[in-house]
Amino acid sequence: MKLDPRSALGAEFGGVSAIADFPARGIAVCERADVGCVLVTAAISSAEVCAKASAAIGAELPRSPGIVITHGGLAAVWFSPRSWLILCGVKDETRIVARVNATFLDKLVYAALFTDNFCWFELRGLRAKELLQKGGFISLERGGLTAGRAKQALIAGVAAVIIHKEDEVWQVGIERSRARYFADWLMS
């Protein structure tokens, strides 16, 4: 739940706003103010607990690094061995938090609204990966960060959650207070 009716960059809340379009550079950049985010944290690492949390969320939680599992408009991203980011519609985040916290009254798993922590950018185009690579290491994996995978990395000196959604589509979550800096770097 965003407290500010404007996005981190001042765009209309709840929508998608083009920041820049560089046809010659093969890249289009949008701010995704329509992406809600829930942080789910477990007190213990257990397949049973993970399965119960997945049922409460309505999407399977990944059990290993780099995995993104999508289901019914939700994307579950492995964040750490006992925490996940759930990307959803902004209007869905409160419902997800309530369901998880009602399922785990003992706080074995806890969900919190996390939308205000990130500003989400979407980069599209043939050279989007190249632009991200100029800012830092996208992946140290042999095949690179393939579609359907995610990782946490520094891009342009800013901590980011990078999701490779499709061949030429990348979603990048940046801490809200660093969003303007990151947008300026993208446009430079």
Q: What pLDDT digit, counting tens, does each position of 144-166 carry?
A: 788 889 988 888 889 999 999 99
DSSP run (H or E) holding 31: strand 27-32
pLDDT digits (tens, 9 = 90+) for 23-34: 557 788 888 888
The residue assigned the tokens 């999407």 is: 59
Total-model pTM: 0.85
Q: CA-CA distance, 62 to 83, in Å (whole number)?
A: 10
Closest CA to 152 of 133, 165, 138, 142: 138
Closest CA to 174 of 162, 184, 165: 162
DSSP β-bridge partners for residue 71: 74
Domains of the chain (ranges; CATH) run 16-34+117-187 (3.30.1360.120), 35-115 (3.30.70.1520)
3-state SS, residue 129: helix
Q: CA-CA distance, 30 to 103, in Å (whole number)?
A: 36
**pLDDT at res. 128:** 87
pLDDT digits (tens, 9 = 90+) for 59-97: 999 999 889 999 999 999 998 999 999 999 988 999 999
Q: Is the pLDDT of residue 172 over 60?
A: yes
**pLDDT at res. 21:** 63
Q: CA-CA distance, 58 to 53, in Å (whole number)?
A: 8
Structure-model confidence comparison of residues 126 and 87, the more confident one: 87
Structure-model confidence comparison of residues 52 and 136, the more confident one: 52
Phi first, then psi: what are they for 186, rounded to 5°? -60, -35
**pLDDT at res. 170:** 93
Average pLDDT score over residue span 168-172: 93
Sign of the CA dihedral 129, 165, 149, 111?
positive
**pLDDT at res. 183:** 85
Q: CA gyration radius for the chain?
A: 16
3-state SS, residue 93: helix
